[in-house]
């Protein structure tokens, strides 16, 4: 049984230029994902999919492989994770061979931990009818009670049907935690949808999850990281 980690890391981030190699708490952001993959001892290969020579060089220095250059058509703002992974798996996994399991590990995931990567693999391996297992976390507030600001600048209920329903009577909702996505190689190649009953959730606590798309997100993530480091929560 072979296992492969693929870390997508394109060079064209616009909201945070150079995001994947920008220093986060003293070391390049990309280092956290590579180090977590190494610490998990799960992978036969750790590969970075990138179009950027600087990212490729850093990845190699950190101990990952960069066996191909990602095509420009898969390195723009519209390229999906699924398309990037299909390309990587098709290049790295020969028909009838290659890896059995492929984990997509995001490059901007400083809170990813080896133990959670192990949980995800074990969950998928134990459920042969499923295609994926990926990190999720619960919303901190019932999404059914969300509000919007209308065209007049006033507040309105996004889901009016739930306006008078007590919070404790609403079912919990979850969202993608943006850390890792374990999949069977065949599922990536088929293009099985991630957000479907073909997937299993690997639930993470909210304090280990932070999307990093803006400088505000980056600053919040740095503060969270410092607090978690001080508390001993980032042990593995």
Q: How far is CA 102 from each of CA 1, 92, 121, rounded to the nearest angstrom?
A: 11, 10, 10
In this prediction, residue 207 carries a pLDDT of 95
pLDDT at 12: 84
C-beta atoms surrounding 51 within 10 Å: 19
Q: Which CATH superfamily is domain 3-136+176-231 in?
A: Spore Coat Polysaccharide Biosynthesis Protein SpsA; Chain A (3.90.550.10)
- Over the chain (236 residues), what is each successive 10-residue block's mean pLDDT? 95 90 96 98 98 98 97 93 96 78 98 97 98 97 94 95 92 96 97 97 97 96 96 76
Exposure class string for 98-132: b at 16+ Cβ within 10 A, else e: bbebbbbbbbbbbbbbbebbebbbebbbeeeebbb
Confidence (pTM) = 0.94
* Three-state secondary structure call for residue 177: strand
What pLDDT shows up at residue 96? 58
Please report the pLDDT score of residue 95 as a whole number.
62
Per-residue model confidence (pLDDT) at position 49 = 98
């Amino acid at each position: 049984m072979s296992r492969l980690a693929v870390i997508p890391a394109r060079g064209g981030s616009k909201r945070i230029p150079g995001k994947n190699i920008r220093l986060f708490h003293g070391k390049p952001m990309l280092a956290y994902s590579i180090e977590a993959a190494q610490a998990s001892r799960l992978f036969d290969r750790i590969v970075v999919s990138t179009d950027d020579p600087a990212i490729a060089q850093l990845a190699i220095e950190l101990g990952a492989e960069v066996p191909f250059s990602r095509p420009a058509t898969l390195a723009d703002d519209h390229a999906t994770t699924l398309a990037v992974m299909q390309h990587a798996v098709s290049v790295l996994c020969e028909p009838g061979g290659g890896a059995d399991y492929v984990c997509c590990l995001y490059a901007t995931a400083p809170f990813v931990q080896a133990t959670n990567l192990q949980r995800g693999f074990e969950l998928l391996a134990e459920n042969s009818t499923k295609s994926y297992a990926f990190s999720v976390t619960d919303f901190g507030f019932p999404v059914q009670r969300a509000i919007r600001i209308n065209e007049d600048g006033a507040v309105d209920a996004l889901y009016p049907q739930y306006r008078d329903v007590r919070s404790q009577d609403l079912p919990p909702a979850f969202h993608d935690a943006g850390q890792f996505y374990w999949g069977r190689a065949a599922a990536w190649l088929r293009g099985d949808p991630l957000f479907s009953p073909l997937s299993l959730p690997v639930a993470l606590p909210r304090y280990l999850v932070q999307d990093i798309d803006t400088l505000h997100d980056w600053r919040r993530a740095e503060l969270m990281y410092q607090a978690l480091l001080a508390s001993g929560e980032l042990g593995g």
